[in-house]
Amino acid sequence: MEDKLKKELQTNTLEVVDDISGGCISSSKSYLTDSGRVFIKFNKKEHAARMFNGEMEGLLAIVNTQTIRVPKPIKVIQFENVNALVMEYLEIVNLSRYQASLGEQLARMHLRNLQMIENEDRLGTPIDQEKAIRKFGFHTTTCCGYIPLDNTWCNSWIEFFTQRRLKYQVNLIDRTYQDPELRHLWPCLENKINQFFKEIEIKPSLLHGDLWNGNVAETPDMPVILDPACFYGHSEFDLSIAKLFGGFKSAFYTSYHKLIPKKPGFDKRQELYALFHYLNHWNHFGSSYRSSSIETIKKLLRWMK
């Protein structure tokens, strides 16, 4: 593997600086090369190449917004028994000083495509030859954890979120657990999800997709976001998992909402979006997330009576 890494990275020097822990999906190491230090994630799962290719495309999409710092991806390398994602090495620590900056920069990332849509509609032509995205989805498969996301393009956010996010997860759970209560409750919710979106218009924003506190950090100079599960969707979706697992201070939310104010029904939609993450965790980590999933569906149904 070392020889192939050297060849792929075009380096004579390849020295392990340290093993880096913290991820529950992949292992990682930092290497010193002829051109500097790189960070490499490794994964032996069957579809790891798909997962890493999706992450690389997501990182590139975020880099292209010029709004928020991510490690710049370099390449995906396939070995016989393992896959690797090589990216820029960043010296990072837990997010602390740059909570407000993260909120502002995340909002600017969410706003960028909306502004491009507005400019195209006003001027009748793309700016800098880059076209705005007018559908919900992504041009390739990305993964939230190791589960692939159905990013097939869709004109309707309600349809996309209901079918390609929630129902997709429900179907995966059903294959494994055949849970009778979930089978009973899901159709009741599925038919009423549009009620959460009565007073708002949604246009697609580029989303991180998995913005919990383990996927944010900071350098000495700025905030950084990591491990994206990107797609174009409703900007509010990114805030749901941030709230769910904590670690984001009031300065983050205040700064974010100065640029993107809350719209009617925001708090209830946060619960709806949290349901995706509970279901996804149920699929990843087992029945310890069953109760949170079922109780969230019941709460949402009570709100719609």
The catalytic residues are 210
- Tell me if 240 sits within 8 A of 275, measured CB to CB: no
Single-letter code of the amino acid located at 231: F
How far apart are alpha carbons 99 and 197 in whole angstroms? 29
Q: Is 63 exposed, middle or buried (0-12, 13-18, 19+ CB in 10 A)?
A: middle
Q: Can you read off the two tokens belonging to residue 124?
A: 């009748």
Q: What is the DSSP secondary structure assignment for residue 71, as one 8-state letter?
A: P
Tell me phi and psi for residue 143, to 5 degrees. -130, 140
Cβ-based burial of 35 (10 A; exposed 0-12, middle 13-18, buried ≥19): exposed
Q: How is residue 205 written in tokens? A: 């924003």
